[in-house]
Amino acid sequence: MTVFNDIDSVTQTDRDEKPLLNETVPDQRSIQRNIPEYCCEICRKTFSSEHEVFTHKETHHRKTSHNYGMYGKYFVFNSKHKRTYAGEKPFHCDICGKSFMSYNKLTRHKRIHTGEKIHQCEICGKSFSVSSCLVLHKRTHTGEKPYHCDVCGKSFSGKFSLVVHTRIHAEEKPFHCDLCGKSFTQNSHLVVHKSIHTGEKPFLCDICGKSFVSNNKLTRHTRIHTGERPYHCEICGKSFSASSCLVLHKRTHTGEKPFRCELCGKSFSGKFSLVVHTRIHAREKPFHCEICGKSFSSNSHLVVHKRIHTGEKPFSCEICGKSFISNNKLTRHVRVHTGEKPYHCEICGKSFSVNSCVIVHKRTHTGEKSYHCQLCGKSFLTSTQLKTHKQIHNGGKVFHCELCGKLFSDNSRFVVHKKMHAGEKPFDCDTCGKAFMQKSHLVVHKRIHTGEKPYCCETCGKSFITNSYLTKHKRTHTGEKPFRCDTCGKCFSTNGNLKTHKRIHTREKSSKCKI
């Protein structure tokens, strides 16, 4: 700690060449109160911490350019500066033993153990242990991003974020793992990475007991329990539990896909999507299920897959109580109740509840069939269609019905189909005794007894027992007739009406004359 008693001499020196000062003279007021005091040599203002005086001096630096000595800075209190070069860390945490170069850094660190957060945001009430974190946080409300990249023009709310970003352009990764050699742009990423080798997960969830390698991952996880979604999209109002999810979501509005595959040219909105995609080219599936041996290109897919074995369905619908193995499947299901179709075809305006459906639909306009069979050259709209087709070439297991000759790519559909021939109906209604081949058919049937109609038309309020009935009904409002006759061009609102109409052209009669 360095404090000036003779400020006039410092001011005179400041007019000349501003050398590094080594002697420490404590201020009498500081001794009496036992509080360290730091003085600005330019305007004589005093502060209680080194951080405050250096922050204050920036106001002078902005007004006039100062030459701050051989290291580019004029250090009034240079003990901390000298410790930087000496590598000395004399301040120790009595809780965990970690050492620091300054008392301020030790004080900040201790707040991790105590949980003390003395700096509060007056806008949203969120608290922080360090004032600089509060300053950064406030910029999420104001949208201020004062730090700009000279290479690409991208802006950032914090200086450190800019420093890390510039390493992308320089392809600089200065932090190396001494175990596997992997490199990182940030030390924090290296610390988290090392826990993969050690297996250490020191951050524990108080609610469910799950452990995490970093505090950030724990914070995100706890939002699953609390339902907190502090990041809001100003375009559509949708909320997210993580800022990274909001960034990805915004790209659905802008259409931005900054991550491009060098092999096939396909672009992605998120880096992780690109990483998973490149594994398709490499045929790499590094995540293996120890129960059945099936492999996956991403760990998240493996986690969801394992729930098939355990029967775990942790995501429940608040409307009907149905449970799902993944949050994605729950989100899709909820749209059945709400009728939400957020994915739109810009060619014909048709809307879909699932993004993959609009992608496949667009190919009907373009005629694109991206999935090609390498054996016979036949092309398909979807990978599922190609997969089913490939099994016909005996490249995989095909389920063949001996009664009608129909082929199936998966056993579950084949089993249901065989029940149709056998007349087997193992699912019985406990109210009326009616039997069904599939459980889903029984569920729909039971709604006749209960009167439940969970699918509601937002236009007229009419309700239906199935989503398909609601879809048909909506066409009475929209006038949509998506089923077109290839022979005469006439359009119909349902596929059944189209089939009936086609009999006119084929002269097929649905019933025979009894005479």
For the whole model, what pTM was predicted? 0.38
State how far Cα 74 lies from the chain centre.
45
In this predicted structure, what is the pLDDT of residue 67?
Answer: 41
What distances in angstroms separate CA 278 from CA 112, 216, 267, 282, 374, one per listed residue? Answer: 39, 27, 11, 6, 20
In this predicted structure, what is the pLDDT of residue 214?
Answer: 82
In this predicted structure, what is the pLDDT of residue 74?
Answer: 42
Extract the tokens encoding 14: 């400041």
In the chain, domain spans: 7-77, 379-506
Higher pLDDT, 515 or 12: 515
Q: Place domain 379-506 in its CATH homologous superfamily.
A: Classic Zinc Finger (3.30.160.60)
Residue linked to tokens 């929209």: 478
CA atoms of 26 and 77, how far apart (whole Å): 12
Higher pLDDT, 446 or 507: 446
Give the mean model confidence (pLDDT) for residues 236-241. Answer: 86
Q: In 149-298, where does DSSP find H-type helix?
A: 159-170, 187-198, 215-226, 243-254, 271-282
- In this structure, the chain runs to a length of 515
Q: How many beta carbons lie within 10 A of that of residue 439, not counting itself?
A: 9
pLDDT in tens, 308-356: 888 888 888 888 888 888 888 888 888 888 878 888 888 877 888 888 8
Higher pLDDT, 465 or 56: 465
Give the mean model confidence (pLDDT) for residues 102-107. Answer: 84
Give the mean model confidence (pLDDT) for residues 279-296. Answer: 85
Instruction: Please choose, from the candidates 81, 78, 130, 136, the residue with its C-alpha nearest in 3D space to the C-alpha of residue 107.
Output: 130
pLDDT in tens, 109-134: 888 788 788 888 888 888 888 888 88
Residue 157 has pLDDT above 60, yes or no: yes
Give the mean model confidence (pLDDT) for residues 268-292. Answer: 85
Phi, psi of 14 (to 5 degrees): -60, -35
Give the mean model confidence (pLDDT) for residues 444-463. Answer: 86
- pLDDT above 90: percentage of residues in the chain: 1
Q: DSSP states of 303-344 as a string?
A: HHHHHHHH----EE-TTT--EESSHHHHHHHHHHHH----EE
Give the mean model confidence (pLDDT) for residues 195-219. Answer: 84
Extract the tokens encoding 179: 């175990």
Give the mean model confidence (pLDDT) for residues 77-105. Answer: 73
Phi, psi of 184 (to 5 degrees): -140, 155
The set of long-range contacts for 10-15, using a CB threshold of 8 Å and a minimum separation of 24, is 10/41, 10/76, 11/41, 11/44, 14/41, 14/42, 14/74
Q: DSSP states of 412-444 as a string?
A: HHHHHHHHHHHT---EE-TTT--EESSHHHHHH
